[in-house]
Amino acid sequence: MADIVDAKTRSRMMAGIRGKNTTPEVRLRKALHVAGFRFRLHSAKLPGRPDIVLPRFRAAIFVHGCFWHRHEGCRNASVPKSNAAFWAEKFVRNVERDAMNRAGLKEAGWRVAIIWECAIRHRGEVDVAAELVDWLNSGGVELEIG
């Protein structure tokens, strides 16, 4: 199936997709800040450059987009119909890279939380931040909110 837009337009559209400071990420950061947490952003010293790093808690938080990181069972994790082989390969690489980053962080003694964008959209950043705070205070090693 052919793309519905020309190559130049598609290139411009794809270039507009951000990897940092996405809307769900910024909303969660604001809620955590209001709750009194101070953090680092996109630490290059850690595997996968976590979106939010809380050094005091040795916690790394990733805010994953459902489409790009393949949130299982989420309606936002659709597969494009055009160029299906490319997308299938890309999604497999993304999921494998996410698993390697999580494993690397845990191996280095970090706690890891995955927050899916749909959780922030549907439940709200305040509720998600509250659950995250409970996890931080409980000493849990891994958390996934989705």
Every domain of the chain and the residues it spans: 17-145
CB of 11 closer than 8 Å to CB of 108: no
How many contiguous H segments (helices) and E segments (strands) does the chain have? 6, 5
Could you report the per-residue pLDDT of 41-52, keeping only the tens digit for each?
Answer: 999 999 999 999
pTM metric for this prediction? 0.86
Residues 6+ apart with CB under 8 A from 19: none
Per-residue pLDDT tens over the stretch 64-77: 999 989 999 999 88
Low-confidence ranges of the chain (pLDDT < 50): none
How high is the pLDDT of residue 52?
A: 97
Q: The CATH number of 17-145 is which of 3.40.1410.10, 3.40.50.460, 3.40.960.10, 3.40.50.620?
A: 3.40.960.10
